[in-house]
Structure 1
């Protein structure tokens, strides 16, 4: 496992948690409630990380 140069913070852990939930298909409204965000705009900041992950997914048809 690679070492991180920065110590883990609560914000970093929440960001990681929210990103993993989104990537697993959890509805954004549930994540908003879990994180205690009043505005959906705050929760939407996590969708950027998920979009980058989605771009890395290859189609099974790419290997044909």
Structure 2
């Protein structure tokens, strides 16, 4: 079987970082694991995946459901 996409050490590193984020690894911890000096470098390895999007929607909806507004007063 022949792969259609070229695989490089960079693509494997990017995949590793993405899977770590999806698994819930803290971005600061991932920064340490990857050996980055700046957190901005680490964020380049991450991107919004459908799994992260779905999870964020569930969390946001749960948060919004917990907020009750009564006559303009937040409770």
Report if TM-score (shorter chain) is over 0.5: yes
The yes-or-no answer on 1:12 pairing with 2:14 is no
RCO higher in 1 or 2 (8 Å CA, sep ≥ 6)?
A: 1
The alpha carbon displacement at 1:45 in A equals 1.6
* Count of residue pairs the alignment pairs up: 56
Runs of 5+ consecutive residues of structure 2 not aligned to the other structure? 59-75
Aligned equivalents of 1:27, 1:13: Cα separation in 2: 19
Q: Which runs of 4+ in 1 moved over 3 A?
A: 56-59
Scaled by the length of structure 1, the TM-score of the pair is 0.67
Query: Larger Rg: 1 or 2?
Result: 2
Comparing both structures, which one devotes a greater share of its residues to strand?
Answer: 2
Residue 52 (structure 1) aligned with residue 49 (structure 2): yes
Tell me, what secondary structure is at the counterpart of 2:33?
A: helix
TM-score, scaled to structure 2: 0.59
- Tell me, which stretches of 5 or more residues in structure 1 are unaligned? 60-64
Q: Shift in Å at residue 13 of structure 1?
A: 0.4
RMSD: 2.5
